[in-house]
With several copies, the nearest count.
Chain A
Amino acid sequence: MINKTVNNVTEALEGVQDGMTFMLGGFGLSGIPENSIQELVKRNVQNVTCISNNAGVDDFGLGLLLKKKQIKKMISSYVGENAEFERQMLSGELDVELIPQGTLAERCRAAQNGIPAFYTPAGYGTEVAEGKEVRDFNGKPHIMEKAFEADFAFIKAWKGDEAGNLIFKGTARNFNPVMCGAAKITVVEVEELVKPGELDPNFVHIPGIFVQRIFKGEKFEKRIEQRTTK
Chain B
Amino acid sequence: MLDKNGIAKRIAQEVQDGFYVNLGIGIPTLVANYVRDDIELEFQSENGILGMGPFPREEEVDADLINAGKQTITALPGASFFDSSMSFGMIRGQHVDLTILGAMEVAQNGNIANWKIPGKMVKGMGGAMDLVGSAKNIIVAMMHTNKAGDSKLLKTCSLPLTGVECVTKIVTNLAVLDIVDKKFRLLERAPGISVEDIQKATEGELIIEGDIPEMSI
Residues of chain A touching chain B, judged by Cβ–Cβ distance below 8 Å, are 1-3, 27-31, 53, 76-81, 86, 89-90, 96, 98-106, 108-109, 111-115, 120-128, 158, 161-163, 165, 168-178, 181, 195-197, 201-202, 204-205, 207-210, 222-230
The answer to whether A126 touches B160 (Cβ under 8 A) is yes
* Bound complex: CA A61 to CA B10 (Å): 39
* Bound complex: CA A172 to CA B66 (Å): 8
Asked whether A209 and B46 contact (CB < 8 A) given A226-B71, A229-B57, A230-B57, the answer is no
B42 CB contact (under 8 Å) in A104, A115, A209, A228: A209
Question: Is B181 an interface residue when CB atoms closer than 8 A count as contact?
Answer: no
A30 CB contact (under 8 Å) in B70, B77, B123: B70
* Bound complex: CA A121 to CA B165 (Å): 12
Asked whether A169 and B64 contact (CB < 8 A) given A76-B124, A101-B125, A224-B72, the answer is yes
- 25 cross-chain CB contacts under 8 A: A2-B40, A28-B66, A30-B66, A77-B125, A78-B123, A89-B122, A96-B122, A98-B115, A98-B125, A99-B125, A100-B130, A102-B46, A113-B92, A113-B93, A115-B92, A126-B163, A127-B161, A170-B49, A171-B64, A201-B49, A207-B50, A222-B63, A226-B71, A228-B73, A230-B55
A197: nearest residue on chain B (CB-CB)? B77
Expressed in whole angstroms, the minimum distance between the Cβ of B136 and any Cβ of chain A is 11
The answer to whether B64 touches A163 (Cβ under 8 A) is no
* Bound complex: CA A125 to CA B115 (Å): 14
* Bound complex: CA A98 to CA B162 (Å): 12
B161: nearest residue on chain A (CB-CB)? A126
Residues of chain B touching chain A, judged by Cβ–Cβ distance below 8 Å, are 18-20, 40-42, 44-51, 54-58, 61-67, 69-73, 75-96, 111, 115-116, 119, 122-130, 133-134, 160-164
- Enumerate the 3 nearest inter-chain pairs by beta-carbon distance, A residue then B residue, closest first: A102-B88, A197-B77, A196-B78
* Bound complex: CA A162 to CA B160 (Å): 43
Asked whether A2 and B42 contact (CB < 8 A) given A28-B70, A173-B81, A208-B78, the answer is yes
The answer to whether B40 touches A1 (Cβ under 8 A) is yes
* Complex interface: chain B residues within 8 A of A170 (CB): 49, 62, 64-65, 75, 81
The answer to whether B130 touches A103 (Cβ under 8 A) is yes
- Interface centre among B83, B94, B115, by most chain A C-beta atoms within 10 angstroms, is B83
B61 CB contact (under 8 Å) in A111, A223, A229: A229
* Bound complex: CA A50 to CA B69 (Å): 22
* Bound complex: CA A173 to CA B47 (Å): 9
The answer to whether A201 touches B41 (Cβ under 8 A) is no
B88 CB contact (under 8 Å) in A78, A106, A126, A197: A106
B85 CB contact (under 8 Å) in A76, A79, A123, A178: A178
* Bound complex: CA A104 to CA B87 (Å): 12
* Bound complex: CA A102 to CA B89 (Å): 8
The answer to whether B89 touches A229 (Cβ under 8 A) is no
Expressed in whole angstroms, the minimum distance between the Cβ of B135 and any Cβ of chain A is 10
* Complex interface: chain B residues within 8 A of A78 (CB): 123-126
The answer to whether A1 touches B124 (Cβ under 8 A) is no
* Bound complex: CA A122 to CA B46 (Å): 14
- Interface centre among A77, A122, A169, by most chain B C-beta atoms within 10 angstroms, is A122
* Bound complex: CA A208 to CA B18 (Å): 12
Expressed in whole angstroms, the minimum distance between the Cβ of B40 and any Cβ of chain A is 5
* Bound complex: CA A103 to CA B124 (Å): 13
* Complex interface: chain B residues within 8 A of A100 (CB): 125-130, 133
A181 CB contact (under 8 Å) in B76, B95, B122: B95
* Complex interface: chain B residues within 8 A of A106 (CB): 85, 88
A175 CB contact (under 8 Å) in B18, B84, B127: B84
The answer to whether B92 touches A102 (Cβ under 8 A) is yes
